[in-house]
Amino acid sequence: MRAWLLDDSPASRGQAAAGRAYRIAGDLMRNPLAVVGSLIILALILTAIFASWIAPESPVGQDLSNRLMPPSAEHWMGTDELGRDIFSRVVYGARITLLIVGLVAVISAPLGLLIGAVSGYFGGWTDRVLMGLTDVFLSMPKLILALAFAAALGPGIENAIIAIAITTWPAYARIARAETLTIRNSEFVAATRLLGASHTRLITRHVLPLCTSSMIIRVTLDMAGIILTAAGLGFLGLGAQPPLPEWGAMISRGRSFILDQWWVATMPGFAIIVVSLGFCFLGDGLRDVLDPKSEGKS
């Protein structure tokens, strides 16, 4: 199996892809930070899937006789002002975080990829107009823009996702354009064009796949920022609405108790930090493995 994966002259595309994935995974596993990052993200995904088994109590069930209890053996992270078990709410919050992060990535990465590739591939006026637009978005403060969009669209988790996606695509467009510019004039693209391939086919089948590795690095590194922005919107009441156990919104609820019942606001914050750190670690590791030029730097 290992010999088949590491074969220098793979017999099929499938074998080549599997071999590449195997090598990357092997390199990643040798990078301690990347291992920690992968484990954290794996834990996040498993928590989100099995939330109803892991959480000891319902995330919305109130128990007013047990309100604002400090952390104990029964309530690991204490209870909030409505007597809800904070640990259970943090566990269910993993679903919301994963949903936000996943949807933002699914919306903004392909959008940025497409705009960047089209811009770089055609060049000329197409390039100037699209990149002008990208630059305008890039030179705006992201958080403020997301705030303004979320405020205009109205509070809610869908609108928060849209608002964040609107502010994240330009960075991806820039990367995709830079990659496309180096690929555009290569011989294999010219050869495929001579074979009669259409622009659409060239972009989607030959240019875009080569941009994906740098895109994956960038998206992973951006995840921490996306989580923080989403939590910030939740904190300001523009993201997920109560009683949804969104981590930022939970911190916001605990704000009034910060001086006496510190655990209400503090505990969800640890969840945000751990998950964001996980994405940072994995992103750093992926960059070291997939982009050896920048190894050891920054």
Partner 1 sequence: MIAQPKRQIALAGPVVALLRFVLVVALTFLGLLALTFFIGRVVPIDPVLAVVGDRATTEQYEAARVAMGLDRPLIAQFGSYVWDVLNFNLGMSVSTNRPVAEDLARVFPATLEMATLGIIIGVGLGIPAGVLAAAHQGRWIDQIIRVFALLGYSVPAFWLGLVGLAIFYAALGWVSGPGRVDIFYDGITPTVTGLLTVDSLLDGDWDVFQSALSHIILPATILGVFSLAYIARMTRSFMLDQLSQEYITTARVKGVPEWRVIWVHAFGAIRVPLITVIGLSYAGLLEGSVMIETVFSWPGIGNYLTTALFNADMNAVLGATLVIGSVFILINKVSDVLYRLLDPRSR
Cα 126–Cα 131–Cα 132 angle in degrees, nearest 5? 100
Q: Provide, rounded to whole angstroms, the least separation between the CB of residue 277 and partner 1.
A: 4
Encoding tokens for residue 93? 């919050």
- The binder of partner 1 chosen from 202, 265, 286, 289 (CB under 8 A): 265
Q: Which of 28, 115, 130, 147 binds partner 1 (CB under 8 A)?
A: 147
Q: Which amino acid is at 39?
A: L
Residue in 154, 185, 187, 200 binding partner 1, rule: CB under 8 A:
154
The torsion angle over the Cα atoms of residues 203, 205, 207 and 213, rounded to 10 degrees, is 130
* Tokens found for residue 58: 């319902």
Q: Which of 64, 152, 194, 195 is the binder for partner 1 (CB under 8 A)?
A: 152
d(CA 198, CA 213): 24
Break the chain down into helix, strand, coil percent, rounded to 5: 75, 0, 25
Residue 224 interacting with partner 1 (CB under 8 A): yes
Q: How far is CA 83 from CA 44, 76, 249, 272, in A?
A: 25, 13, 16, 22
Count the site residues for partner 1 by CB under 8 A.
48
Task: Out of 225, 239, 245, 285, point to the residue binding partner 1 (CB under 8 A).
Answer: 225
Name which of 183 and 244 has its Cβ closer to partner 1.
244
**By three-state DSSP, how is residue 85 classified?**
strand
Pick the stretch among 84-92, 110-118, 169-177, 254-262 that binds partner 1 (CB under 8 A).
254-262
Q: Rg of the Cα trace of the chain?
A: 23
In the block, which residue shows the tokens 């969800």?
268
- The smaller minimum CB distance to partner 1, of residues 88 and 159, is found at 159
Q: Does 35 bind partner 1 (CB under 8 A)?
A: no
Contacts of 293 (CB under 8 A, 6+ apart): none
Cα–Cα distance for residue pair 65/266, rounded to 1 Å: 22
269 forms part of the interface with partner 1 (CB under 8 A): yes
Query: Residue 136 interacts with partner 1 (CB under 8 A)?
Result: yes
Compare residues 96 and 231 and give the one whose CB is closer to partner 1. Answer: 231
- Residue 17 sits at φ, ψ, to 5 deg, of -65, -45
- 243 phi, psi to nearest 5 deg: -90, 15
One of 97, 168, 180, 276 touching partner 1 (CB under 8 A): 276
Among the listed ranges 75-83, 101-109, 210-218, 266-274, the one in contact with partner 1 (CB under 8 A) is 266-274
Interface with partner 1 includes 202 (CB under 8 A)? no
130 scored as a contact of partner 1 (CB under 8 A): no
| Residue 293 touches partner 1, criterion: CB under 8 A | no
Residue whose entry in the numeric block shows the structure tokens 């010999």: 3
Q: Which of 281, 285, 286, 288 binds partner 1 (CB under 8 A)?
A: 281
Looking up tokens 């796949």 gives: 209
Q: Residues in the site for partner 1, rule: CB under 8 A?
A: 132-133, 135-137, 139-145, 147-149, 151-154, 224-225, 228, 231-232, 235-238, 248, 251, 254-255, 258-259, 262, 265-266, 269, 272-273, 276-277, 280-281, 284, 296-298
